[in-house]
Structure 1
Amino acid sequence: MAKQLNYHTLREIFTRFQDSEPEPKGELNHVNAYTLVVAVALSAQATDAGVNKATEKLFQIADTPEKMLALGEEGVIEHIKTIGLYRNKAKNVIKLSRILVDQYGSQVPCSRAALESLPGVGRKTANVVLNMWWHYPAQAVDTHIFRVGNRSGICPGKDVVAVERAIEDHIPVDFQQHAHHWLILHGRYICVARKPKCKACIIADLCQFEEKTE
């Protein structure tokens, strides 16, 4: 694990990220807060591209909790069976849809605790929804951010909560709205797991990773 980078280095890193991609976006397709919750819940142990392919037709016919309940668990399975753990995920989608209708007037709640109370919605999913839909600077730490944070020293931590805390505590606040998107994209396309593309990295000179590739 690299040491935590200092404030000035972090500001330079995120200035470069911002210059390169001023408005980074999440890659999961959605049409409203409800479909965003469903898409993120489905994305656990699956790729965004795979989820988008599965939800393209699903969201055309079920973009509200009521429509999803009308479709039923077997109907959801028919659309998402190309995704890993699809049976359990379909069950969770139906359960969370029922809770939204019964307890929240069919509206997606905008508190982390309320979101985390929904079946299939963990802290990461809740933070994605808070960030992407309500523009709250919540940090959704996935495997990409965990890897980049610890390799580079941007946000090192022993677990995802520690990395999330490192982002909130150390990254300048004016970059926090988009921080997790920049880090995810950097981990997905540049600082990849096996052979990081250090030659193409815009922060290579500031990164503490000792095993940089040529």
Structure 2
Amino acid sequence: MTSDTGTATARRAPRPRADALRNRERIVTAAREMFVESGSQVPYDEIARRAGVGNATLYRNFPERADLVREVVLSLMARVAELAERAAAEEADTFAALRRFVHGAADERVGALCLMLDGAFDRDHPDLVAERDRLEGVVQGIVDRAQRAGRLRADVGVGDLMLAVSQLTRPLPGTACAAFTPFVHRHLQLFLDGLEAPARSELPGTTATLEALRRDSCPS
């Protein structure tokens, strides 16, 4: 008689082959780059060509464009969360951790990609929610530590930080990404200088929250 454990093992789906995983990763990387360059409606055959795979391989992995867009967003959030975790773990100075995270997020083209995505995907997909919570949690930790150490002004929140990073890393209308890129880190540094404590002025309005921003903006 076959045990329940044996039956479950027999029915378990086989793990993807290493080459299949590499192909999927190349597709997502190529799509992320091309979405920044040309928007999320870039033809599938161009993405396949950039990734070095056939069209059939691309469609087998992502039969619907919404599937690919969701995977690109998930990949972006995972990469940004990882760099935030490294910054928090490796930087003894709490504001240095914040600075490293902000410049790292800029290198991932967060604002440019957010601008290009049309939102035609399930933002409440469990994988996206889990990765978003991970990202927001680690960035909240970076902000909290910098404020407790007196290095970050007390009247800003994670929402203010993420919104500013998104805005400052978006190309101006009619400006190519390549022409805009050299100024991103320069302007981010000006922004970061304004975040350091002690504050030189009183901010108007109220602290931005991630919950409020999430209602009207792309995933951060």
Q: TM-score, normalised by structure 2?
A: 0.29
Q: TM-score, normalised by structure 1?
A: 0.30
**Bigger Cα Rg:** 2
User: Which of the two has greater helix per residue?
Assistant: 2
